[in-house]
Amino acid sequence: MEYMRGDCRASIGVFDSGVGGLTVAREIMRNLPKEHIVYFGDTARVPYGSKSKDTIVRYSQQIIHFLRTQEVKAIVIACNTASALALDEVEKELDIPIIGVIRPGARVAVTSTSNRRIGVIGTESTINSHMYKKLIYEQDPSITVYEKACPLFCPLVEEGWLKDPVTKEVARRYLDELLNKDIDSLILGCTHYPLLRSLIRELVGDSITLVNPAYETAKELGELLEREGLANPDMPEEPLTAEPYRFFVSDMADKFGSFANSILPYDIETIQKINIEEY
């Protein structure tokens, strides 16, 4: 099957440093069931959250080159760190639409806060970029944003300790500082963190809105596709002529598969491993 640039039947390219972006892919599957997805997880170089802008820009460029070989019509950076550090750079070079998760997350947080005090948690690199803070200020400079890096959350999620007392103690340590600031909204600024939602909910209580940028990103993607005339008009055919969701990784396809099967609403059958450094 051949696709022209701008073909509305082409796939959406979605990428992340690893498995976390599957929480975004899941929202796209739920909210835009007509869209096909090509997912790439950079499991050979994961995590991104402790790395520099230069490195994350280079990695993102390689991944976008790879996704272009799959004839995607639009790209979603389903990783907060890469959205924070690389989106502005890679956007300039692209002739198809690309969106990250930070702008949608910032937008919904602005509409959700009543007392204009918002907390943001994320990786070290995301927090040090202050990207959520900047985008929130652009929309409403009267809002105060409190930021906190939570570097142990990703390893704890990958260890599967989602409801563990250790994870709760770590979360208490990280979140205490934000809770003392009387925030009423908390952005889960890393795609792994929605998997800790119920534990975080227990700690912060019911009065704080937890903002998951994944849902808003899927919504914003839908609007973008409609606006650009790129939305797929057809549901995937039955019997399927092509797999609607395809998965690629740079390493450890098996481990990715079992993690993916615990997150996604269906079981992945094939995951292809590629050498991303060649792109």
Q: Which residues bind a second copy (CB under 8 A)?
A: 43-46, 50-52, 54-55, 58, 151-152, 154-156, 158-159, 165-166, 169-170, 173, 250-252, 255, 275, 277
Question: Could you tell me which of 87, 127, 97, 101 has the C-alpha nearest to residue 24?
Answer: 101
Nearer to a second copy, 72 or 170 (CB): 170
Nearer to a second copy, 48 or 245 (CB): 48
Question: Could you tell me which of 223, 138, 150, 140 has the C-alpha nearest to residue 186?
Answer: 150
| Residue 8 appears among annotated catalytic residues | no
State CA 31 to chain mean position distance. 15
Given the residues 8, 79, 150, 154, the one annotated as active site: 79
Nearer to a second copy, 89 or 251 (CB): 251
CB 183 within 8 A of CB 208: yes
- We find the least distance from the C-beta atom of residue 98 to a second copy, in angstroms, to be 23
CB 90 within 8 A of CB 57: yes
Given the residues 8, 150, 154, 190, the one annotated as active site: 190
| Residue 79 appears among annotated catalytic residues | yes
Query: 50 vs 85, 103, 128, 210, CA distance in Å?
Result: 12, 21, 10, 24
- We find the least distance from the C-beta atom of residue 220 to a second copy, in angstroms, to be 31
Q: How far apart are CA 145 and CA 119, in angstroms?
A: 6
Nearer to a second copy, 74 or 199 (CB): 199
- We find the least distance from the C-beta atom of residue 3 to a second copy, in angstroms, to be 30
Catalytic residues: 79, 190
